[in-house]
Amino acid sequence: MTTHAATNAATTPVRGAAAHASPAQPAIDLAAIKARQQATWASGDFAIVGTTLQIVGETLAEAADVRAGERVLDVAAGNGNATLAAARRFARVTSTDYVPALLDKGRERALAERLDVTFRVADAEALPFDDASFDVALSTFGVMFAPDHPRAARELARVVRPGGRIGLASWTPEGFLGDMFKVVGSHVPPPAGIVSPMRWGAERHLVELFGRRAGRIDAKRRDFLFRYRSAAHFVDVFRRWYGPTHKAFLALDAAGQAALEADLVALLERHNVAGSASLVVPGEYLEAVITLA
C-alpha cells in the first residue's frame, strides 16, 4: 500500500485539526496504565524473545533506507534490534526505551559488536529531543504499545525533520500476535478503554494518526516466522520471559494458568505450518515507512 496523505485526506473521512488521529479515547488514567506497562516489560527477560526478532530490525532499516551518517532514533527500542541494524549501516544512532533494563541489554549487544550508539531512557509519548533532531525514527514492535496513540505519533513526527522517514514494524490485528493477545485477554482482560496496540498494524490507523504530517505512507504486510521446538516450548519461553504473557500467568491461579496454557497451545497448533516435527508460526506484521511532508 502506498498512500499520498493529501490525496487520501481528500477522498477519505479523516479527522482534522487536533489530531489526524484515532477516535477519541475514553477518559482513563493513562499514567497508571503506563506505570503498569513499564512493570510488565521489565518483568521476565524480553531480550530472550527480542533477539529472535532481529531480522525485522534489519528489514525495517532497509525499507527506511537508513544511510551512513544519518541521525537515527530507535523509539521503544527494547533490546535494540533496530538500533543495531541502523548502527551496522554506520548511522549515528540514539536508542531509547522507558525500561532501563531493556536498554542495558541493547548496550551489551552494541558493545559486543563495537558499535557506537547513544542510549537514553525516554518515554515514546514525551521524547526528550528538540524538533527535527533526527533524519529517521524507527520502532520495531515498540511504539505500538504506547497507550496514547495520537501522542506517540505526534512525538515521532515532531523529532524527525521535514522530509525525514519514520519506519515502523507493528503486529497486525488479523495475524497470529493479534490472535494471541485476544487469547491472553480472554483470561486476563486488558484495562478498560485502552485502544488495542494492534491497530498500529492497520494501514488506515496510520493514516489517521499521521494525517497531513505525512507526505507519503508506504506500507507492506510481512511475516515473521516464529521458530520453536513445539507449541509447549513456545508457551514455556513466553511464559517465562515475555512480559505480557509472563504477567498474565502470574495473575491467574493454577486452574487459570492451565486453561491459558491449553488455549495458547491450541492456537499455536492451528497456526503451525511445520507439521508435527517442530513449530513454525507465521506472525503477520505491517512494515510502514512514513515520509514526512
25-49 pLDDT, tens digit per residue, is: 446 787 888 888 888 999 989 999 9
Check whether 98 has a pLDDT greater than 80.
yes
Query: What pLDDT band is residue 2 in, cutting at 50, 70 and 90?
Result: low
Could you tell me if residue 60 is inside a domain? yes
Tell me, yes or no, whether 256 lies in a domain: no
**Residue 53 scores a pLDDT above 60:** yes
Number of structural domains found in the chain: 1
Residue 242, in any domain of the structure? no
Write the pLDDT tens digit of every residue in 232-255: 999 999 999 999 999 999 999 999
Contacts of 234 (CB under 8 A, 6+ apart): 226, 228, 264, 268, 279, 281
Q: How far apart are CA 2 and CA 218, in angstroms?
A: 4
Mean of pLDDT over the chain: 91
Average pLDDT over residues 85-95: 98
> What residue numbers bound the domain in which 74 lies?
2-178+188-229+284-292
pLDDT digits (tens, 9 = 90+) for 190-200: 888 889 999 99
77 within domain boundaries = yes
Identify the pLDDT of residue 49.
Answer: 96
pLDDT surpassing 50 at residue 264? yes
Check which CATH number belongs to the domain holding 61 and give it.
3.40.50.150
What confidence category does residue 3 fall into, taking pLDDT thresholds of 50, 70 and 90? low
| In the predicted structure, residue 22 carries a pLDDT above the cut 90 | no
Q: Would 277 be classed as within a structural domain?
A: no
